[in-house]
Structure 1
């Protein structure tokens, strides 16, 4: 029983820490590229420019907390010789893809906080956005399954 618990922890911790990093990384890419460089949208576009920028700041803070916490967990796992790097990478891709899909489906379509880009036909942008998320998520899940089935 004890070895099963330890095996579950050995799988769960690097995957979870990687997922935190992946969510933070993808939120950072979204924030820097689409909110700041391209200026296609803010996290919340339903109010004034000031509120939109403030919402971007909250997203940025969330992203930084996840990145710092995720990297601290990964470093702690490494220090304790428990870091399974392939599982951490799988978690990173699952986190990044999961964030991308959540943003594309929940934030863009269900809550209507913002669109990828405000143009007449948003469909190509939505398809590309969600396809990238599905690709990252799929690769991460395949990596995870292979590592878990091979007992890393």
Structure 2
């Protein structure tokens, strides 16, 4: 027996989790592992930084898995709206990037984008990219809401 109840936020939550998880994974893979610019937590030993990266990796992978599980359920229920989901993915990615740039980098200072350089251009690019993603996701999500 299938559950025919419509859960309106399920599609958006799926996209938000998927987007945040994917952006977190890109951040960790590119800036933490490939470029070695920082760890998630840089205010302690190198070992603590590696452990914090592992925790971040587990959290981002869990978010992607949860988002995709919700997406499978939404598709099974016949409630999938491709553009609305992609809007939520962009929102989630931008929200992760904005949180990281403002809260992690500036307020909590757990790490910076990069060390030994003038941070202003890096911060502008980091937070600017986040703003572009949030705005694009919000516009796409609102556009699909009116249909």
1:147 aligns with 144
Question: Which of 13, 21, 25 is equivalent to 1:24?
Answer: 21
| In structure 1, C-alpha distance between the alignment counterparts of 2:68 and 2:80, rounded to whole Å | 12
CA distance in 1, matches of 2:87, 2:117: 37
Runs of 4+ aligned structure 1 residues displaced above 3 Å come to none
TM-score by length of 1: 0.91
1:46 counterpart (40, 43, 48): 43
Alignment root-mean-square deviation, CA: 1.2
Aligned-pair distance for 1:42? 0.1
Query: Can you list the C-alpha shifts for 1:117-139, whole angstroms capped at 9, x where unaligned?
Result: 00231110000000110001100
**Where does the alignment leave 5 or more consecutive residues of structure 2 unmatched?**
none
Q: Distance in 2 between matches of 1:14 and 1:59?
A: 24
Aligned partner of 2:133 among 128, 131, 136: 136
Structure-2 residue corresponding to 1:67: 64
Unaligned runs of 5+ in 1: none
